[in-house]
């Protein structure tokens, strides 16, 4: 035991001083607004830096264009590593609030619209989705709550977040489909030769 204590003093390392990782994503809340062929995504993150100095928090982001990033309402910096992974730079130790504004493309095919993105996931992630018109989610997400707002003509969803890519397939606006009309024109040309 004495030999162990001597080696410990020589190593000058106190057990538990160094955290297993220097930064954490504690929580994530997303608001997704669909506007025709694009979606505006606002992510509110609760992050924590566990060590002093500038720390990097890796974030899994794909299929989005980052418009704006703030940490505690101050402009924040991002770095992209060789594997194209986005990392948020945290300047100070402790908990902070980060906000990401992003845009993504919405694909339209036949009577469906699809949003495909990869967003950072935390254990308590929450997703609110707002889509114009009266629509249904066909696949890709578990719906916790669906509300139709007739006055604003939007459908609001609360979705269960899960790790990995998010691919939500939705119907098109039911009201818009009702107003679309197909015009079939036929004509007969009669010519009389005398």
> Using one digit for the tens of pLDDT, what is the confidence trace for 13-37?
665 566 677 888 999 999 999 988 8
pLDDT given for residue 178 in this prediction: 46
Give the pTM.
0.76
Which one has a higher pLDDT value, 130 or 185? 130
> Of 67, 122, 74, 75, nearest to 100 (Cα)?
67
């Amino acid at each position: 035991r004495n030999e162990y204590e001597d080696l410990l003093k020589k190593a000058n390392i106190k057990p538990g001083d160094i955290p297993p990782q220097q930064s954490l994503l504690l929580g994530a809340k997303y608001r997704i607004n669909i506007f025709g062929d694009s979606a505006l995504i606002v992510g509110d993150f609760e992050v924590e830096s566990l060590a002093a100095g500038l720390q990097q928090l890796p974030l899994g982001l794909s299929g989005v264009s980052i418009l704006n990033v703030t940490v505690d309402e101050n402009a924040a910096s991002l770095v992209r590593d060789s594997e194209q992974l986005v990392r948020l730079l945290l300047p100070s130790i402790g908990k902070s609030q980060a906000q990401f504004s992003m845009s993504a493309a919405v694909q339209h095919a036949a009577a469906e619209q699809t949003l495909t993105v990869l967003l950072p996931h935390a254990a308590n992630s929450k997703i609110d989705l707002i889509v114009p018109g009266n629509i249904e989610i066909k696949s890709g997400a578990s719906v916790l709550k669906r509300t139709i707002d007739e006055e604003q003509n939007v459908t609001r969803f609360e979705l269960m977040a899960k790790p990995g890519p998010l691919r939500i397939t939705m119907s098109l606006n039911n009201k818009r489909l009702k107003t679309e009309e197909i015009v079939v024109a036929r004509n007969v040309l009669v010519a009389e030769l005398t």
